[in-house]
Amino acid sequence: MKRENIRLPNDALWLLQTLRAAGHSAYVVGGCVRDSLLGRTPGDWDICTSARPEQTRALFADRRLILTGAKHGTVGVVLHGKPYEITTYRQDGAYRDHRHPESVRFVGDLAGDLARRDFTINAMAYAPGEGVIDLHGGRRDLAGGIIRCVGDPAARFAEDALRILRAVRFAARLDFAMDPATAAAALAARDTLQTVSAERVYAELDGLLAAPGAGAALDRYGAILAGAVPEIAACIGCSQPGRWHCYDVWRHTAAAVGALDLRGQDTRGARVLCWATFLHDIAKPPCRTVGPDGIAHFKGHNQRGAVMARAILRRLKAPVYLVEGAAGLIAIHDAPVPVGDTAILKALNRYGPVFLRRLCALKYADLDAHAPTAEVACRRAEVSFFEARMSVLAKEGCYTVRQLAVNGADLMEAGELSGPAVGNALHALLRAVMEGRIPNRREALLAAARELDRSFP
């Protein structure tokens, strides 16, 4: 990791130079330094400076400014359409309720600013010519793959409980492990996550689930995450004796999240799938029974899981499409896939192809987190047959009234049908087409409609 020279984008460089030319000190800081040292492309370039917010504002007065962060000492400067955050060196004041600092106090130097940052890998600054300013062992921890609090972890988590989730999210994002002292403090403080606003918790969990190492992080840090989603606690160690499973409910969940293949999904689909997989078996603990043969059963965990997932997601103030999308998948995640064209067309009619494609992705992830037996492989093959045929029928098949070769006007013209009878007839025709009783051709449909008309005067 000898990439001491960080290449700044021209705009970030210009901001640093302008601040420095005006007599202030200024550095890029935080995530962009961390990502650059890892050889990753930073998402955004944050700048910290000795300039007071009003000085920064004056310096860039001819630019478009974003002043929503002014209270925290942040001035946003928009260059070439991209906002850069310039924040005055600060220390956070006293904290209330493990959440927000009561006040921010501006400090004179970079060292004070770095000391208030959450993790060593996030507490580095850089300026061309000066190199990396690393006062807390950030480079050592980057090299070792370690998430470690700056200073005393218990104190840092007491200041801001959200850092507990940030630690897990960064572990998942970078495939790092928490330092044992940081992990122990996070576990001990997990219940204080209940005091953090739902929006902040949701945003961190969402980022965690989308991270490449989410499965491993869930597996390792489930007990910590139970501070944010208490329902997880009962899943940890909830055993599943029988021929299907090789993991307890939580390890299975983590393995499923790790196995999730999101290729071909749009942003919403990916988010819905991550959360649905995360919560798909959340109702297994309350549904668990063990038969006389020693085998565990989880009757009703689909439906009950949908109810629990909906409650959890609403509690976290997740967007409605996510609440409904995830709960809808969970409600049928374990049901057998439809077999045969009629059943598949009816599923397309009821759920639509987008939902069914997501369902298949969830099922693959779920099955890939089962015991690797021939039976499981067989179930996976069934899903794959279903998905292939469903994709063909979604393109070529007729599964909605609008896809029928006749419409309401055709029926009214041809017969004496009117009003609701037209709608009923169209649905009866669609059913007949999906069941393969009549072809989706105009003449055949009109003839069938006349038949219908006679049988239901």
Footprint on this chain of Mg ion (rule: CB under 5 A):
31
According to the binding rule CB under 6 A, does residue 363 interact with ligand ATP? no
Which residues share a beta bridge with 178? Answer: 147
Of the candidates 122, 127, 110, which has an alpha carbon nearest to the alpha carbon of residue 147?
A: 122
**Smallest distance from ligand ATP to CB 155, Å:** 12
- Judged by CB under 6 A, the chain residues 3 through 42 that form the site for ligand ATP are 30-31
Taking residue 102's Cβ as centre, other Cβ atoms within 10 Å add up to 9
* Contact (Cβ atoms closer than 8 angstroms) between residue 313 and residue 327: yes
Looking at the Cβ atoms of 202 and 298, the one nearer to Mg ion is: 202
**Smallest distance from ligand ATP to CB 194, Å:** 17
According to the binding rule CB under 6 A, does residue 305 interact with ligand ATP? no
Looking at the Cβ atoms of 149 and 318, the one nearer to ligand ATP is: 149
According to the binding rule CB under 6 A, does residue 122 interact with ligand ATP? yes
**Smallest distance from ligand ATP to CB 193, Å:** 13
Helix (H) or strand (E) holding 77, with range, is strand 74-79
133 is written with which tokens? Answer: 């300013």
Residue nearest to Mg ion (CB): 31
Going from the C-alpha of 105 to that of each of 51, 67, 71, 93, 113, the distances in angstroms are: 13, 18, 11, 6, 10
**Smallest distance from Mg ion to CB 221, Å:** 21
**Smallest distance from ligand ATP to CB 153, Å:** 12
**Smallest distance from ligand ATP to CB 227, Å:** 16
Looking at the Cβ atoms of 41 and 289, the one nearer to ligand ATP is: 41
Residue 80 neighbours by CB under 8 Å, 6+ apart:
11
Looking at the Cβ atoms of 160 and 206, the one nearer to ligand ATP is: 160
How far apart CA 322 and CA 444 sit, in angstroms, is: 42
Q: What is the dihedral of CA 246, 252, 254, 257, to 10 degrees?
A: 110
Compute the residue count for the chain.
Answer: 457
**Smallest distance from ligand ATP to CB 30, Å:** 3
The contact pattern for ligand ATP, residues 61-100, with x = CB under 6 A and - = no contact, is ----------------------------------------
**Smallest distance from ligand ATP to CB 33, Å:** 8
Measured at the CA of 28, the angle between CA 23 and CA 34, to 5 degrees, comes to: 160
**Smallest distance from Mg ion to CB 44, Å:** 5
How far apart CA 284 and CA 237 sit, in angstroms, is: 12
According to the binding rule CB under 6 A, does residue 162 interact with ligand ATP? yes
Report the residue from 90, 98, 117, 190 that binds ligand ATP according to the rule CB under 6 A: 117
Residue nearest to ligand ATP (CB): 31
Among 159-167, 240-248, 331-339, 429-437, the segment contacting ligand ATP (CB under 6 A): 159-167
Give the total of residues touching ligand ATP (CB under 6 A).
11
How far apart CA 362 and CA 305 sit, in angstroms, is: 14
Looking at the Cβ atoms of 36 and 56, the one nearer to ligand ATP is: 36
Of the candidates 121, 103, 112, 249, which has an alpha carbon nearest to the alpha carbon of residue 176?
A: 121
How far apart CA 441 and CA 410 sit, in angstroms, is: 13
Give which of ligand ATP, Mg ion, none residue 118 binds (C-beta under 5 to 8 Å, depending on kind): ligand ATP
Looking at the Cβ atoms of 95 and 351, the one nearer to ligand ATP is: 95
How far apart CA 299 and CA 286 sit, in angstroms, is: 10
**Smallest distance from ligand ATP to CB 162, Å:** 5
How far apart CA 295 and CA 124 sit, in angstroms, is: 53
According to the binding rule CB under 6 A, does residue 213 interact with ligand ATP? no
Looking at the Cβ atoms of 126 and 355, the one nearer to ligand ATP is: 126
Secondary structure (H, E, C), 431-450? HHHHCCCCCCCHHHHHHHHH
Looking at the Cβ atoms of 60 and 170, the one nearer to ligand ATP is: 170
Give which of ligand ATP, Mg ion, none residue 204 binds (C-beta under 5 to 8 Å, depending on kind): none
Looking at the Cβ atoms of 112 and 408, the one nearer to ligand ATP is: 112
The amino acid present at 30, given as its one-letter code, is G
Burial string for 400-414 (b: 16+ CB within 10 Å, else e) reads: eeeebbbebebbeeb
* Contact (Cβ atoms closer than 8 angstroms) between residue 233 and residue 197: no
Report the residue from 45, 98, 118, 318 that binds ligand ATP according to the rule CB under 6 A: 118
Start-to-end CA distance of the chain, whole Å, equals: 82
Of the candidates 51, 85, 48, 55, which has an alpha carbon nearest to the alpha carbon of residue 68?
A: 85
Give which of ligand ATP, Mg ion, none residue 162 binds (C-beta under 5 to 8 Å, depending on kind): ligand ATP
**Smallest distance from Mg ion to CB 31, Å:** 4
SS3 390: helix
Report the residue from 136, 148, 163, 220 that binds ligand ATP according to the rule CB under 6 A: 163
Binding residues for ligand ATP, rule: CB under 6 A, are 30-31, 43, 46, 117-118, 122-123, 160, 162-163
